[in-house]
Amino acid sequence: MARWEPDAAGRLREAAMALYAERGYERTTVAEIADRAGVTARTFFRHFADKREVLFAGSEELERRMVEAVLAAPESAGPMDAVAAGVLASGEFFVDRREHSRRRQAVITATPELREREFIKMASLAAAFTDALRKRGVAPEIASLAAETGVAVFRVAFERWVADPQDADITDIMRATLADLSSLTA
């Protein structure tokens, strides 16, 4: 008997995150996640392809927004400013997600399979930034350097944010990290 589940996806995400923290990602099953969320496994699979997708479901959306911001940067913006616009565009995505992001990051750090998945995601983002910069007319070798550097800034800023004891705004941390990069390479 199928019935409507108010915010089943949200409850599944909550349940998964709690179980991953309690017993580890590898030892958690889809059946247990569904059970904890009070839904059937079938409902789980209506929302997520597998237990890994609970953690990575938002990634494509995030990448899409970041790439759009690179493309939408003013024509006068240089390659690094366009990439910076892409990095800063992620800030909005993370609003009210700090606690979730922190728990998610802890699960990923503790699980080699998920760390690898995260590396692949970052490589995908770098490739997407490179494509976007080339569409803006940036030379290939400069495009990939700016893209890889932008991803480095994004990763470092994200880690600073989840670890920040003051709960600082992620966009402020990203701006500070971009400024640190300028000082470092001056």
Instruction: State which residue, 32 or 159, has the beta carbon closest to its own copies.
Output: 159
CB of 58 to its own copies, least distance (A): 21
Does residue 116 interact with its own copies by CB under 8 A? yes
Does residue 136 interact with its own copies by CB under 8 A? no
Does residue 142 interact with its own copies by CB under 8 A? yes
Tokens coding 127: 């490739």
> What residue type is 154 in one-letter code?
F
Tokens coding 123: 């490589």
Does residue 90 interact with its own copies by CB under 8 A? no
Of 17-25, 66-74, 97-105, 173-181, which segment contacts its own copies by CB under 8 A? 173-181
Does residue 131 interact with its own copies by CB under 8 A? no
Q: Are 33 and 11 in contact (CB under 8 A)?
A: no
> How far is it between the farthest Cα atoms of the chain?
64
148 CA to centre of own chain: 16
CB of 62 to its own copies, least distance (A): 19
Q: Which residues of 151-166 are buried (b: 16+ CB within 10 A; e: fewer)?
A: bebbeebbebbbeeee
Does residue 171 interact with its own copies by CB under 8 A? no
Structure-derived torsion over alpha carbons of residues 85, 160, 11, 28, reported in degrees to the nearest 10 = 120
Positions that interact with its own copies (CB under 8 A)? 78-80, 115-116, 119-120, 122-123, 141-142, 144-146, 148-149, 151-153, 155-156, 159-160, 177, 180-182, 184-186
